[in-house]
Amino acid sequence: MASIRLAVVVGVLVLVCAISLGDGLRMSNGPKKCCFEFAVQQLPRGRILEYTKTSTRCSNQGVLFRTIAGRQVCANPSDSWVQNYMKHFDRKNMKKQNL
């Protein structure tokens, strides 16, 4: 009787581990950061350190601005101010690379 209980417990543990491993692998292959809401107002450019684009695997394409306070703010890449900020930081990075 005890060996049957032990077999059932081991079987359940193996099943739980297999499910957990599958979820972990699925999560590790997904995008790191996606935007589901965008900033409503324009951010002050002087408060932004850098930007990154979200993964193409995200349902919404977005731009992540990192502020001097360490926050990450999602913005809509089709907004004109977002495009201008991206150009500004691209030019700034090009100057650094050419030094």
Which pTM value belongs to this model? 0.65
Q: Please give the pLDDT value at position 5.
A: 66
Share of the chain above pLDDT 70, in %: 68
Measured CA distances, 35 to 10, 15, 18, 58, 61 (Å): 41, 34, 30, 8, 7
For the chain, which residues make up each domain, given as ranges? 1-30, 33-99
Segment 24-53, tens digit of pLDDT = 444 456 667 999 999 999 999 999 999 999
Task: Output the CATH code of domain 33-99.
Answer: 2.40.50.40
